[in-house]
Amino acid sequence: MRRALLALLALVLALALGCSKSPGGGSAGGVERVKLALNWVPEPEFGGFYAARDSGAFAREKLEVDIQGGGAGVPVVQMVATGRAEFGIAGADEVLMARDKGALVVPLFATFQTSPQGLMAHASRGATGIGDLLKDGVLAIEPGLPYAAFLKKKYGAFTAKVVPYDGGVARFVADPSVAQQCYVTSEPIAAKKQGSDPRVFLVADEGFNPYVGVVITSAETARNKPELVRAFVRAVRAGWASYLAEPGPTNRVMAALNGAMDAETFAAAAAAQKPLIVGGDAVDRGVGAMTKERWETLATQLAELGVLGTAAPVDFLVAVD
């Protein structure tokens, strides 16, 4: 009987402790410390995440988030899949291709409803669409990316002179015959500052529109810590609401971390990206919304392009509402 009583007391104590845990599994009143790995340096495309930290949205969810800036080649998906970061940022096409190769990551929140990926050309060329830019002149592009493969499938072999995309706009500014890949929040703004006249054509308007700025976590975290996941997404939504309403304060915080961008560029990028974030599925379902249908469409497209083994049903979305 004594042993039975001790066992009962132990069970009651365990239940009491379990009920008092924070969303991430910390002790009562404790804070869950997690990492968020970005896939690029601090810029407006990540404004809502920094705003969630600096406005106290993470803190209200009892989260302490270490936001780690990224850059070219940073293996965000692998970091999340292997537990080196609890959360990360990736493109939807990256997520599907990584899962196809065995990386068990789960999408939670999509920042961009419309992909900011595009091609830009000088307005003086008079191009009316992306198809025109693929026919003649010079085209600076990374031909191995999925969106480039989609355009080649849609329009046929590029007859423009293809040159490597070098990450800048110097060639574009110097030569009116040059068109190049771009993000609406980056290269067009830089080209305008240098006196050029860029006109941007979104790849999304051609029918290839993956979610961009997707928050991911590992399947293990999603399964074992659902309250942590929900708390993180709630805070991120609040952060983006704050940033979209007033980006200035957070832009100043990010500018201190990214000396390569000035205040004018931060403001211009924030304004350029806003319609791409609040449109689409976000109109009815709120910022960050995703639909299974969009994911399945993308999976089918990637399979048709040969970059996915199959277009298996997308059944791994986590309900975080």
Q: What value, to the nearest 5°, has the Cα angle with vertex 63 and ends 61 and 67?
A: 130
Q: What would you measure as the largest C-alpha separation in the chain, in angstroms?
A: 91
b/e per residue 122-142 (b: at least 16 CB within 10 A)? beebebeebebbbeebbbbbe
How much is the pLDDT for 316?
A: 63
How much is the pLDDT for 7?
A: 34
Set out the domains of the chain in order of their start, with CATH numbers. 32-114+210-304 (3.40.190.10), 117-206 (3.40.190.10)
Residue where the block lists tokens 């997520």: 95
How much is the pLDDT for 315?
A: 62
Whole-model pTM? Answer: 0.88
Contact present, 67 and 258 (Cβ < 8 Å): no
Distance CA 274, CA 220 (A): 33
Residue type, 23: P
Nearest Cα residue to 81 out of 107, 109, 105: 105
Nearest Cα residue to 317 out of 294, 287, 300: 294
Q: What is the pLDDT along the chain (321 residues), one digit of tens a residue?
A: 333 333 323 322 232 333 333 344 443 358 999 999 999 999 999 999 999 999 999 999 999 999 999 988 899 999 999 999 999 999 999 999 999 999 999 999 999 999 999 999 999 999 999 999 999 999 999 988 999 999 999 999 999 999 999 999 999 999 999 999 999 999 999 999 999 999 999 999 999 999 999 999 999 999 999 999 999 999 999 999 999 999 999 999 999 999 999 999 999 999 999 999 999 989 999 999 999 999 999 999 999 999 998 755 566 665 555
Where helices occur in 194-286 by DSSP H, the ranges are 219-224, 226-245, 248-257, 263-278, 282-285
Residue where the block lists tokens 């940033």: 243
- Write out the two tokens for 218: 């590992």
What are the φ and ψ backbone dihedral angles of 288, each rounded to 5 degrees?
A: 95, -5
Element (H, E) at 76: helix 76-81
Contact present, 168 and 180 (Cβ < 8 Å): no
How much is the pLDDT for 306?
A: 93
